[in-house]
Amino acid sequence: MNFKKIKLPDHIGIIMDGNGRWALKRGLSRIIGHKNGVEAVRKTIRYASDIGLKVLTLFAFSTENWKRDKNEIHGIFDIVEQYLETDLDEFKSRDIKFRTMGDITKLPKRIYKKLTECTKQTCNNKGLILNVAINYGARDELLLACNNLIKKGKPATLEDLKNNLYSSDLPDPDLIIRTSGEMRLSNFMLFQSAYSELYFTNSYWPAFDMKQFNRALIEYSKRDRRFGGNHKNVQK
């Protein structure tokens, strides 16, 4: 695809959904679904870095995901940890800046350490910003921001609120992709998505490939973003 000819988003957020259903359909365990999900993560990050995307946010674990079976939760953390272990060198060679969004202090120590180590070792990189939402929920994020602002004891502005979110140093997502046919945001970047374009695909996350990524990018390039302004392309 010729990316010089189409309008690309700066920031894409992805709600990676459907690992479990992908596995179930094949008579496999949910953990195998998540393992295959990581392969899709790897390909997506490589592609995002190749096309020169500025920010990629991946929703890896929500504040609601603690309701899952303990084995599955720890399986997901193990998979994320292993992935970071093997791919940190590639982040460095691709100049990828890794960072997280969410309360990582509540995660098991091993994964917390791995996440902070990757953040530290790539903090001066200038390429793709890879923002992993882990133990993240937008309502918790907003509550935390409100409580920080209340402590200041004066009316807050929208700018103050934005500056107190986990993503304060990132642009808002231009495009949010959700896989698996579900059409909702499920507590993902609720403040930041006010003007995001939404793209839904029926594909389960492990089956999300670069053909589908291109489809989302082409669809985005056709959208007329007005941010509350007037239609400019209406034919009289």
Tell me: does residue 41 bind ligand FPP (CB under 6 A): yes
In the complex, the smallest distance separating the C-beta of residue 44 from ligand FPP, rounded to whole angstroms, is 9
Distance of CA 114 to the CA centre of its chain: 18
In the complex, the smallest distance separating the C-beta of residue 214 from ligand FPP, rounded to whole angstroms, is 20
Q: Looking at 31, 79, 96, 104, which residue binds ligand FPP (CB under 6 A)?
A: 79
Widest CA span in the chain = 62
- Which span (13-21, 101-109, 121-129, 167-175) binds ligand FPP, by CB under 6 A? 13-21
Tell me: does residue 83 bind ligand FPP (CB under 6 A): yes
Distance, in Å, from the CA atom of 136 to the CA atom of 126, rounded to the nearest integer, reads 25
Tell me: does residue 75 bind ligand FPP (CB under 6 A): no
User: Which one, 16 or 55, has the nearer CB to ligand FPP?
Assistant: 16
DSSP 111-138: HHHHHHHHHHHTTT--S-EEEEEEEE-H
Distance, in Å, from the CA atom of 96 to the CA atom of 176, rounded to the nearest integer, reads 20
Catalytic residue flag (residue 131): no
Tell me: does residue 177 bind ligand FPP (CB under 6 A): no
Tell me: does residue 170 bind ligand FPP (CB under 6 A): no
Helix (H) or strand (E) holding 49: helix 30-50
Q: Looking at 12, 80, 104, 128, which residue binds ligand FPP (CB under 6 A)?
A: 80
Among positions 90-119, residues that touch ligand FPP (CB under 6 A) are none
- Residue 185's φ and ψ, nearest 5 degrees, are -95, -15
Catalytic residue selected from 10, 19, 50, 65: 65
Q: Looking at 14, 38, 118, 165, which residue binds ligand FPP (CB under 6 A)?
A: 38
Residue-level length of the chain: 236
Reference 78, options 128, 86, 6; nearest CA is: 86
Catalytic residue selected from 2, 10, 17, 147: 17
Are residues 136 and 192 in contact, defined by beta-carbon separation less than 8 angstroms? no
Catalytic residue flag (residue 87): no
Residues 6+ apart with CB under 8 A from 8: 51, 52, 53, 217, 220, 221
Give me the residues that bind ligand FPP (CB under 6 A), please: 16-21, 34, 37-38, 41, 58, 60, 65, 76, 79-80, 83, 132, 180
- What are the catalytic residues? 17, 65
